[in-house]
Structure 1
Amino acid sequence: MTGKLSSDQLQRIYKLLTEKRPRLDDRMRLTPAERALLECGGISRSDFDDLIIATEYRGFAAAGRYAEALAAYFRIPKVSLCRKPRRLDDDVLWLDGYAVADAVALLIFMERLGFAVSPGQLVQAIKGNLAGKPMLTESEYLILTYEVSRGCTTTVLRSDVERQPAFPTTKRHRDELGNRFTLVLQGEDVLSLEVAGPRYRDVNSALKTCAYCGTTYLPSSRNDREAHRQVHRETQRLLDPGPNKRFAARLKCGAGAERVVASVPMWMHQEVLKRAQRFRSDFAYDFVQWPGTMSTKATADWHGYLIPAGADGTIAGACAFLYETETKPSGSPWTLSWIWLAPKYRRGGLLRERWGRFLEAYGDFRIESPLSPEMEAFVRIHGTDWQKSCLSNHGE
């Protein structure tokens, strides 16, 4: 929402909305004006005003006059409309108006504020066209979620009055549908008007951070909760992995079963990628050091390894070596770019068991720095003389 309304506008809107509310009859069909809106693909501003005052006639039908200001406040875009000419060289008269979805969104906002309007039939006519769209405008999102959010929202209109360091006063009202109005005043000036729907409940809006997966989310938001569950499950698969049948079958093949190169299945490249991403996250690297994915195999200059915790195929971690054309002083062109083990498998001998094989396969390879304190301590014990000489605090 952008822009602000004047104090006088909010005062008059509050006065209108606190009058006795007109009763809206339940209907199952579109009105002629609503059908015209759908058929034309838009509606002029004057016709939209008429659509509103057909049901909202409080305040001597003043609601239509507020529509334009509310459209600007809620970022509803105006469009230029004209009647389709019979001949392409005919002149046309351009009118300010709204596209279909935007007009319906403005009706939804006005209903949330307590105006006696009924966008339900228009929503039913439009939402079927939105179900298959991968991207939605704000207006389309309001239409698609109308039924689940109706009566459950709170909407605030703010004025352009500058707030002063003083205690404001409030006026409250509840209408026949259960909408709750709160007008906040600073002397005679209106600061804001808040309208809570009849089914709106104030919820805990405090953010929560999961100690296990590190996700920060809003517990009251269903989308946030679902996103947290997904991240939590993915984190659990890395930190507390279970047996992997496919990897267990690979391990039965013997030598080379752990190595991930172009000839192995895609899923192995993906498993290395997940741990490369976790390594980047844990150690604040700028990019992921592994090019393989579920759909793209790593290039020939990368060799990855999945490190099993046992014969059941549980993946304890992974690492990756990069071939570089520039030969190191040690004589090997290979670099151990990273290695990541789930915390529960660290200091358990898994890396020590493989270190000799890595030296045999890749020579006196370089180890990408900086190293964690644990990795540095490992290299001091098991590394080659040259690898030890490369440590940042060698000789201390």
Structure 2
Amino acid sequence: MVTRSHGGRRSAADRLEQQLIADRFLTEPQMEDLLFAYGINWPSYALPMERLAECFGVQLTRSYSRPTVRGGASLGFRSVARPDAVHMLIELKRLGLPIEPRSLVTALVDHVADARTLSASELSAYWYRSQRDKWPPRTIGSEGRTNRSNAIRETHRTATGYTVEFWRDADRIPREMTVRAPRYRRPRRQIDATCPECAFEYTQGDPDSSAAHRREHRVRMSVLAPRANRRIQAVCEPDTGRVRVTARSPVWLHREMYERARAFKREFRYDFVKWGSGRRDDDPMVQGFLFVTPDDRFTGACAFRWRDFSTDAPARWGLQWIWISPAFRRQELSIVTGLGFGPSLAISWSRHRLRPPWTLFSVLMGMRDY
């Protein structure tokens, strides 16, 4: 296969690319013409397009011209569908060939922008922008492992910066080829880890997992090590050290309640978060309380719901959950007695049944350290 740069072919490549975008298919001859327009003299007599497609996991299909009338005849052609054609071009670029399918990739990614599921070929296009020229080395060769002790090694660099390593046998017949992208970097070793501060489990060396840890770390540390919040003064009930949260409270207070309910769920391994959502708990019979320090920090929260047992037992408020930041535990601070529910309060927490006086110490007796 010979590659040549020829400026006059660019217009032909543009025309075929636009045809692929508009018609969604290219026939076998048109696909060969597109490769030729890129400057690749493809030896179709030695490697037919069907066989080339199979090398990249693509199956040729048949496309049909639209009938002029319903029920009319239609001509069918062996063709390559647009996602598969883009995937093939990307794979050929990975082998160091002078192909730049950027416009086709952009059109395909825009086409599936709202799709919730992608095919393998569409996923290849979706990753193209971030992985371009960074792919890991690709090795192809004849069946069986090449005996490199008697092989001849040759190294070349393509016009696009790819390094190609050939291994030839004693008769100088190529047996194996490895292509390395110019911007490839060996990935870091991946190690399963748990953050000692926020207890988030992630994989070191995996960019996506590390990014997820950074996002979650900020959220978790905002409740594990709370900072002063100037907005608290405007909503804190005077001389109580608490902020009451109901269904009508501002969204930011619901978010503070929700994150502490998430912390409660994580620590005690409950199946769900015991607060509506990060935007609101719309239960009209819910009352949440955020505990406040003198320096305007939220140290924890608890939630009560009205319980009508439909039995002889009287309806009353029930403590659903309570969670305190680890740094503020075991300090003998009375909290539940000051919430104003009086004798109509029933507190149950898993198997623990709590009786007055309800203090932070007694509530947390059954809790292990975070």
Q: Do both proteins adopt the same fold according to a TM-score greater than 0.5, normalized to the shorter chain?
A: yes
- Tell me whether 1:217 sits opposite 2:203 in the alignment: yes
Q: Counterpart amino acid of 2:190?
A: A
2:322 aligned residue: 339
Provide closer, same or farther for how the CA distance between residues 226 and 331 of structure 1 changes in structure 2, counting only shifts above 3 A: same
TM-score (norm: length of structure 1):
0.71
Give yes or no for contact 1:156–1:192 (8 Å, CA) kept in 2: no
Q: Which residue of 1 aligns with 2:185?
A: 201
* Partners of 2:244 and 2:289 within 8 A in 1: yes
CA contact (8 A) 1:259 1:306 kept: yes
Task: State the shift of 1:261 in Å.
Answer: 1.4
- Highest relative contact order (Cα 8 Å, sep 6+), 1 or 2? 1
Q: 1:122 aligns with which of 88, 92, 104?
A: 104
Find the aligned partners of 2:60 and 2:56 in 1 and give their Cα distance.
Answer: 8
- Closer/same/farther in 2, CA of residues 121 and 311 from structure 1, 3 Å limit: closer
Task: Name 1:108's counterpart in structure 2.
Answer: 90
Aligned residue number for residue 260 of structure 2: 275
Q: 1:360 to 1:323 in 2, by over 3 A?
A: closer
Residue of structure 2 equivalent to 1:263: 248
Q: Distance in 1 between matches of 2:59 and 2:204?
A: 30
Aligned to 2:27: 44
* Equivalent-residue separation in structure 1 for 2:311 and 2:140 (angstroms): 65
Equivalent-residue separation in structure 2 for 1:370 and 1:325 (angstroms): 20
2:218 aligned with 1:226? no
- How far apart, in 1, do the equivalents of 2:324 and 2:235 lie? 20
Q: How large is the Cα RMSD of the aligned pairs?
A: 4.3
Where is the helix percentage greater, Structure 1 or Structure 2?
A: 1
Q: Distance in 1 between matches of 2:255 and 2:291?
A: 14
Q: Which residue of structure 2 lines up, in the alignment, with residue 5 of structure 1?
A: none
Unmatched tracts of structure 2, length 5 or more: 168-174
Alignment length (residue pairs): 348
How far residue 64 of structure 1 moved from its aligned partner, in angstroms, is 4.4
- Name the CA shift for 1:252/1:381 in 2 (closer, same or farther; >3 Å): closer
Deviations 1:330-373 (A, max 9, x none): 85633322211111111234xx32122347446351322156xx
Structure 2 CA distance for aligned equivalents of residues 175 and 227 of structure 1: 40
2:350 maps to: 369
Distance in 2 of aligned mates of 1:326 and 1:161: 74
| 1:350-365 paired onto structure 2 within 5 Å | 352-358=333-339, 360-361=341-342, 363-365=344-346
Whether the 8 Å contact between 2:155 and 2:165 is mirrored in structure 1 is: no
Matched with 2:4 is 23
Are 1:105 and 1:140, in contact at CA under 8 Å, matched by a contact in 2? yes
**1:34 counterpart = 2:17:** yes
Kindly indicate whether the alpha-carbon contact (under 8 Å) linking 2:299 and 2:328 is maintained by their aligned counterparts in 1: yes
- Which of residues 71, 79, 85 in structure 2 aligns to 1:89? 71
Instruction: For residue 157 of structure 2, give the secondary structure of its aligned residue in structure 1.
Output: coil
Give the equivalent residue in structure 2 for 1:288: 273
Q: Structure 1 residues 88, 98: CA separation in 2 closer, same or farther (over 3 Å shift)?
A: same
| Aligned with residue 305 of structure 2, among 322, 330, 351 | 322
Q: How does 1:111-260 map to 2 (within 5 A)?
A: 111-123=93-105, 126=107, 129=110, 133=114, 137=118, 139-143=121-125, 145-154=127-136, 156=138, 174-177=155-158, 178-180=161-163, 195-209=179-193, 210-213=195-198, 214-219=200-205, 221=207, 223-251=208-236, 253=238, 258-260=243-245
What is the Cα deviation at residue 94 of structure 1? 2.9
Distance apart, 1:108 and its partner CA: 0.6
Deviation at 1:224, TM superposition (A): 3.7
Unpaired runs of 5+ residues, structure 1, are: 1-15, 185-190, 392-396
- The equivalent of 1:188 in structure 2 is none
**SS of alignment partner, residue 316 of structure 1:** strand
1:169, distance to aligned residue in structure 2 (A):
5.9
